[in-house]
Structure 1
Amino acid sequence: MPATFKIVLAAKADSDGLFDVRLRVTADRVVRYLNTGVAVAAKHWNPKATLDKENWIKTSHHDHAEHNETLYSWVRRGKKLATAHPDWSADQLKATLQNGDIDPAAPDFLTFCYRRLDAEQATLDEAHRKGRETTGWSQGTIDGYRPVINKLAAWLGGKPLPLPLLTTELVQRYQQHLERDLDNGPTTTNKNLRVLHTFIREAIRAKLLTLDKDPMALYDFPTPKPKRVWLTREELDELAAATLAPAQHAARTVFLLQYYAHGSRIGAILKLKWKDRRGGRLRFVMDKGGRVKEVEETEELQGLLDTFTPAPGQPRPHPESYILPFLPADFEQLHPKQQLETIKRETAKINMNLARAAARLKWTKRFSSHVSRRTLATFSERLLKGDLRQVGGLLGHTNTRTTQLYLKDLDTHVIDDAARQVYGSLGKTQVKQPLAAGEQPASNTHPHNPEKAAS
C-alpha cells in the first residue's frame, strides 16, 4: 500500500498558546509525525481543509497564503519521495523529509574520499612490504590529495556531504570560499577543484554516482596563470660555461641531465641506476604515471653521464647502484613516505644551489630544477612548429588533454628524431668545468653510500 500524507494540527498547544501544524506520514500502517515549521492559534485552523484547495490556514490569518504554500510543499515533497521509493518505511520518509529530501543513508562524499585515500595508502604500503611495484596512486599523489580533502572538510564545518548535495552550485560556492576567504590564486584554486573532480569521478566508477549527475562535467575551471620561467639559448650556454662552486656545479649537472633526458623531472634523474644505461639508450621510470621512458644517449647526455664513471683502475659500479650520489643505497627499502621526503630534501638542496648559481650569474629570474623541463618544452614548441604530438612525446605527457590523444601510438624513434631536431638545432652545450679526478657532485654524505660527495 502506498504511503499517504496529511496535514494535521497538534493535539496540544505550546507554551505560547500556538498549535504546531504537522505532516502525518503513514506507510504500512505505521504513522509518524513531523513539524512543518508552521504554528497557528486554533481559531486560524480550518479542520475541513482539503489538499486541492490548500486552505488549511484560514484567510483570517495575515500569513495564510504563505503558510498554505509551505504546507502544500511538504505534502508534494512527501508524495514525490514515496513515488521514487515505494518500499520506504514511514521512518525513512520522515528522516529524508527532515534532511531536505536527502536520504540520511546516502553515501557521504567526504567519507568516500578518506576511505579512497586510506585504501590507496594501504595498497602502497602492502606493495612496499612485499617489494612489488604498484599501479595505484604514488605517495606524492596521496600526500597531495589529502590536504585538499581536509580543506573541503574544514569548509563544511565537520558536517557530512551526502552525494546528492554535491551540486554545481555547491562547487561554485566552494570556489568562492577558496578565492575570497582563503585568498587562493587561480593556480591553487584550479588544483583544488581538479582534485575534487578526480574524487567525483572515482565515486562514479564506484557506482555511487551516475555519470549524468557529475556536477563538474561542464564546470568552468579557473584559468591558472603560472609564471613560466625558462632559459634562453644564451643563458643555457652561460650556465654551462660558468665556473661554479662544487655544490653549484653538482646542481648544474643535474639540471643539464634533466634537460638532455627530454626534460625529465628531477626525481627520475636522481633515481637513475647504472643498469638503466643499455645499448646507447637511457631507460627509466618517470616520476608521474609510472611509465617507462626511453631516451637516446646523445653526445651531450652521454658526456654528462660518463663523468660519473669511476677512473681507470677503480672498481666498476654495481648495476643496481645509483649513478648520482644523492640517494642512500637503501633508498628502495625505505617506506614510500620516507622516499618522498628524501627526494624533496635533495631537490630543495639542488634548487638552493641553482639559485646561488643564478645569483653568481646575476640572473633575476627564479631558477630551479623544473626550469630545465620548461626550457626544453619552450625550445621544442618553437623548433617543432607547435607539433604537440612530438612535444608531448619528448616530455612524456600522459595526463594533459593537449597531448595525451597523440601519445598512445607514438614510436620511440619518432621521439628520437624530434629530440635530435631540438638538440641539434640549438648546438652543443658543454660544461667547461669537468669534474676533477675521482670527484663526485656535492651532496649529503650518506652513511649507506660508499661514494662521498664533495662538500
Structure 2
Amino acid sequence: MATVKAVLRKKKNPEGCYPIAIRITKDRKSSYLGTGQHIEEKHWDEKNRCIRKSHPNANIINNFLITKIAEANKKVLEAENNEDYQTVNAIKKKIRQNKKINFFAVADMHLENLKNREKHHQYDTELGRLKKFKSFLRKNELSFNELNVPLLKKFETYLLHDKKRSPRTVVNYLILIRTIYNLAISESLVDRGRYPFGKGKVQIRIPESQKIGLNRKEIQKLENATDLTEAQQNAVHVWLISFYFAGIRVGDVLKLKWSDFNDGRLVYRMNKNSKLVTLKTPDKASAILNRYREKYSLDNDLIFHYLKDIDLDDSQKVSVRTQTITRNLNRHLKKVATKLGITKKMSMHIARHSFGNISGDKIPIQMLQKLYRHSSITTTINYQANFIHKDADKALDSVINF
C-alpha cells in the first residue's frame, strides 16, 4: 500500500527556506511532488507534518496542504485498485496526468525569488520579458505540455523578425524560459521527459558580443577635458573612478563612501555577488577624490552625492534610482565625447571595457581575474579575448607582408 505525506525537503533555496513536498512511498521507494511552498525550518512541525502557528500564513498553507494530500491520496487509491502493478513513479505520473501546471504560475515563483534576493533590476527586466511572451501567446496561461520546441522556434522568429530584437536579446528570453522550466523540474512540478532544450531541440548559444573600449589617447582626452558643465565634469569623474579601479560597476561607484578608503586602499563589497574587494588607490583616483573631499561635507559619507537622499538599505529604491542616474550619466558622457571628438559610443559600462582594452595581454590572466572579480578564470579568458589581438596581428603580417 502506498502512503502519502507532507514533508520538508532538506535542500534550501538562496533565501534559506526549504521546499514543502508531498512524498509518495511504495515498496520502500519514494517520489516527491512539489507544492511550490517554501518556509524556514523553524516553522515546520515534523511530528504533525504541518506548518506551526508561528508562521503568519500557517492556516492558509495547512489548508492548501490538506487539499493536495487529499488529491494525491485519491489518485493513489485509484492506482492501487488497478489490477496491474504500478510503481511509485507510475503513481506519481498518474497524479500529474490530469493536472495542467501553468508555466506563468511557476514564473511568478521565479520572480518572487528574485524579489526576495533583492535582484530588483533583474526582476523588472524579466517581468517585462514575460509580458512580451504573454503578448506573443495572446493568453495568460500556458501548460508545460504546450511549451514545446515548435512553440519556442515560433517565439524566436517572432522576436527576431517581427520585433527586430538582436540575437543576444532573443537568447536572454530563451534563457529565462529555460530557467523557469528548470525551476518547475526542481520543484517536482513537471517531468524532464518533455524538456524542450538541449541537443536536437532548442539549443541556446550565446552569440559573441563586440566589446569596444577607449584607448589611451581617448582616456587622456577625458582626463584633460576643460570647458565642461558641472554635470558633465561629474559624469567624467564617475567614469574615471570606475576605470581607475579596474572597471568597477556604476552601482558600486555611486555607493562608494569615504569610510571605504583606508591606508591608501579601497575596500568595498560588490553589489552583484557580495565579494569583498580591496584595491590600491591610484594617484589619479586620489586627485579626483580630493576634489570631492573639498567640495562636499562628510555628513553623508558618500563620495558622489547622487544617492544622498536614498535609504541605502532599501535595495529596491537604490536599484530604481541607480538606473535613472546611469541614464543621466550616459547622456552627459555622450555630450562630452562629442565635444572631445571621441567617436566611440560613450557610456558608464565601457569604463570596464576600456580597462580590458588597455591591459590587453600585458597582465597575467590570473591577475586580471582578481582585478575583474570574476568567479571563474574562464569568464576572464572569454572577456579578455575581445581585447587581445597582438598574436593574431603578427600572424596576419607574417603572411601578407612580402
Which structure 1 segments of 5+ residues have no match?
1-81, 90-101, 124-135, 407-455
SS in 2 for 1:326: helix
- How much has 1:297 moved relative to structure 2? 1.6
Partner residue of 1:235?
Answer: 218
Aligned to 1:390: 367
The match for 1:114 among 108, 111, 122 is 108
Q: Distance in 1 between matches of 2:98 and 2:155?
A: 22
Match of 2:340 in 1: 361
Tell me how far 1:149 sits from its aligned partner.
1.3
Aligned length: 290
Quick one: structure 1 residues 353 and 405, their matched pair in 2 at CA, closer, same or farther if it must change by over 3 Å?
closer
Q: Does the alignment pair 1:328 with 2:304?
A: no
Distance 1:230 1:137 in 2: 30
The alpha-carbon deviation at position 392 of structure 1 amounts to 3.1
Matched with 2:162 is 181
Cα distance in 2 for partners of 1:88, 1:290 equals: 55
C-alpha distance in structure 1 between counterparts of 2:81 and 2:247, whole Å: 59
Paired residue for 2:385?
none
Report deviation, 1:381: 3.8
Task: Report how far residue 227 of structure 1 moved.
Answer: 4.5
One-letter amino acid of the counterpart of residue 155, structure 1: F
Cα shift readout 1:127-159 (whole Å, capped 9, x = no counterpart): xxxxxxxxx241111111111111122222215
Which aligned pairs between 1:188-267 and structure 2 lie closer than 5 A? Answer: 188-210=169-191, 214-218=195-199, 219-224=202-207, 226-245=209-228, 246-267=230-251
Question: Residues 233, 272 of structure 1: CA spacing in aligned structure 2 closer, same or farther, 3 A cutoff?
Answer: same
Q: 1:169 to 1:396 in 2, by over 3 A?
A: farther
Amino acid in structure 2 at the alignment position of 1:265:
R
The answer to whether the 8 A contact 2:104-2:141 is kept is yes
Displacement of 1:88: 9.8
Structure 2 CA distance for partners of 1:240 and 1:103, relative to 1, 3 Å: same
Residue 302 (1) aligns with residue 283 (2): no
Residue in 2 that maps onto 1:131: none
Task: Report % sequence identity.
Answer: 22
* Residues 211 and 286 (structure 1), Cα distance of their counterparts in 2 relative to 1, 3 Å cut: farther
Q: Which residue in 1 is equivalent to 2:261?
A: 277
The secondary structure found in structure 1 opposite 2:305 is coil
Mapped to 2, the partners of 1:297 and 1:204 lie a distance apart of: 47
Q: Aligned residue for 1:73?
A: none
Larger fraction in helix: 2
Q: CA deviation at 1:404?
A: 7.8
How big is each residue's C-alpha offset from its partner over 1:371-426, in whole Å with a ceiling of 9 and x where there is no partner? Answer: 101111223343236x2x4333322234x7932899xxxxxxxxxxxxxxxxxxxx
* TM-score normalised by L of structure 2: 0.64
TM-score, normalised via structure 1 length: 0.57
Amino acid at match of 1:326: Y
Change (3 A) 1:336 1:104: farther
Give how far 1:189 is off.
Answer: 0.7
CA contact (8 A) 2:270 2:277 kept: yes
Q: Which structure has the larger Rg over C-alpha atoms?
A: 1
Measure the CA separation in 2 of the matches of 1:146 and 1:114: 9
The alignment's C-alpha RMSD in Å is 3.1
What is the match of residue 403 of structure 1?
379
> Match for 2:155: what amino acid?
Y
Aligned to 1:420: none
Contact map agreement 1:186 1:225 (CA 8 A) in 2? no
2:353 counterpart of 1:370:
no
Residue in structure 2 matched with residue 126 of structure 1 by the alignment:
none
